[in-house]
Amino acid sequence: EGFIKAGANIGSVIGQFLFGYLADAFGRKAVYGKELMTIIFATILCISVPSYIGAEGVLIWIGVFRIILGIGVGGDYPMSASITGDRASLRKRGTMLTYVFANQGWGSFVGSLVTMAVLACYKTAMDKNGQVYKIDAVWRIVVGLSLIPAFGTLYQRLTLPESTRFNKTRNTEADEAQKETDPENEKEGELKKAAVDTSSSEQSSVQAEVADVKKKAHIHEFLKYMSEWRHAKLLIGTSLSWFLVDIAFYGINLNTSVVLQQIGFDGAGNNAWHKIFRVATGNLIITALGFVPGYYVTVLTVEWLGRKWIQIQGFIMSSVFIAILAARFHDLSSVAFIVCFALMQFFFNFGANATTYMYPAELFPTRYRAFAHGISAASGKAGAILASLAFNALSKKIGTPAVLWIFVGCNLAGAVVTLVCLPEVRGRDPDAIELEERRVAGEQRINST
């Protein structure tokens, strides 16, 4: 059970690292769309699992291809965030990033609706005629329908042009690298003009070498950039806060059966069709009450309240409602439990679940944005993996309320990390900041020679 839950997140860690690096090293245009092709490939293979291999074989098959699916889903995090961050104006950057991320809420909502609709189509066969095996067709149809929006957006992704901001950064890197290839320039400190005439063919050769070196040296440049504490502190802040929020967020949302049981939508009793339909209904309620409203309050207020304030209050307020659930887990009525759980979800999404996605795309300069976002997102998914693998074992050993108290501690720690490590990024231009840092460093090198 833990492997099935963690499979997609394991793949996500790989995809976030891989696509984050590739997007910075080779460009957004060269990579964007490949993550969606991976998702499409894995989804088709998931729904193509042969029934004759038995229940255990089916679970292994799905688990393996969920990892591949996760690679594509994980790759979408740094790709979508960096592309949005590259194109958005400073004034509306936070709104655009949150709007992109908010579609997760609609995905969960529509997914629950589709599940209920497909189940309704099979009600007669499963409920009245007792053809329970039809559930095999239900899950294949539900998962397969996700291919429609995937194919619908694939062409746009593959043909999206490179952003002006990324091209400008790449040209700046090439200019700097070309200057560094001329030892006379470095010796004489002539950083803007070369005194040596070269033929056009020689210039093309140098440019090709510079481009090749730039791609190979990206990791070195990234590590050099992060070797400064002022930059490393930001990456630690984005990674650790995302890790902590995902322990609580996915620890709860990958184990919604516990919640559904408390509110009477766990599918207990009745026949198979009624059980599954009630679970789908419960998931729809949870999504409608907490996910979507929280995301869109963030969309509407992020440029006004700021990212740091939203993240800190989200950590604290979600901790309050998790603490209530932990303290009164067996005493709350179904209505009180739903209200408390919905408010907890609201403050996750009007809080750290949304802002941790935004922060790396706004803190780091264009040349390192995707890789830094991939590292931060992978840290978050590491927290999700830890939660998905540990939740069931800990719940059986120390009880669900005790596990919820652990989540409270993680959230409060996240608030402290945000307060200490992360600045407000509203209106921040990381490219201008990096350019100024490079200018100052260049002047210091000249003065030291």
> Residue 27, by phi and psi: left (phi above 0), alpha (psi -120 to 50) or beta?
left
Alpha-carbon span 118 to 125, nearest angstrom: 12
Q: What percent of the chain has pLDDT over 90?
A: 56
Alpha-carbon span 69 to 40, nearest angstrom: 8
DSSP code of residue 160: P
Q: Does any domain span residue 194?
A: no
Q: What is the pLDDT of residue 191?
A: 37
What mean pLDDT value characterizes the chain? 86
The tokens describing 123, both together, are: 């009600």
Q: Does any domain span residue 448?
A: no
Q: Please say whether the beta carbons of 418 and 312 come within 8 A.
A: yes
Alpha-carbon span 209 to 178, nearest angstrom: 9
Q: What is the pLDDT of residue 200?
A: 46
b/e for 427-445, b at 16 or more Cβ within 10 A?
eeebbeebeeeeeeeeeee
Alpha-carbon span 176 to 438, nearest angstrom: 11
Q: Does any domain span residue 235?
A: yes
Q: Does any domain span residue 215?
A: no
Summarize pLDDT for 150-209 with one digit per residue, the tens.
Answer: 999 999 999 999 988 888 887 665 555 555 444 444 444 443 444 444 444 444 444 444
The tokens describing 382, both together, are: 């590491």
Query: Which carries the bigger pLDDT value, residue 16 or residue 205?
Result: 16
DSSP code of residue 189: T
Residue 230: band (very low, low, confident or very high) from pLDDT cuts 50, 70, 90: very high
Q: Does any domain span residue 182?
A: no
Strands (E), 287-377: none
CA 191: distance to chain centroid? 40
Q: What is the pLDDT of residue 204?
A: 47
Per DSSP, helices labelled H in 159-199 are 164-180, 183-188
Q: Please say whether the beta carbons of 218 and 174 come within 8 A.
A: no
Provide the number of structural domains found in the chain.
1
Alpha-carbon span 242 to 380, nearest angstrom: 5
Residue 215: band (very low, low, confident or very high) from pLDDT cuts 50, 70, 90: low
Q: Does any domain span residue 202?
A: no
Q: Please say whether the beta carbons of 239 and 376 come within 8 A.
A: yes
Q: What contacts 289, CB < 8 A, 6 or more positions away?
A: 338, 342, 345, 346
Q: Does any domain span residue 198?
A: no
Alpha-carbon span 187 to 254, nearest angstrom: 59
Q: Which of 172, 223, 241 is nearest to 372 (CA)?
A: 223
Alpha-carbon span 293 to 349, nearest angstrom: 8
CA 211: distance to chain centroid? 30
Q: What contacts 376, CB < 8 A, 6 or more positions away?
A: 235, 238, 239, 242, 356, 359, 360
The tokens describing 169, both together, are: 């950064």
Report the CATH number at residue 31: 1.20.1250.20
* Residue the block writes with tokens 């067996």: 330
Q: What is the pLDDT of residue 69?
A: 94
* pLDDT surpasses 60 at 346: yes
> Domain range holding 80?
2-158+222-435
Q: Phi/psi at 206 (nearest 5 deg)?
A: -65, -45
Q: Does any domain span residue 252?
A: yes
Summarize pLDDT for 86-122 with one digit per residue, the tens.
Answer: 999 999 999 999 999 999 889 989 998 999 999 999 9
Summarize pLDDT for 363-408 with one digit per residue, the tens.
Answer: 999 999 999 999 999 999 999 999 888 887 888 889 889 999 999 9
As a whole number, mean pLDDT of residues 259-266 equals 71
Query: Which carries the bigger pLDDT value, residue 341 or residue 418?
Result: 418
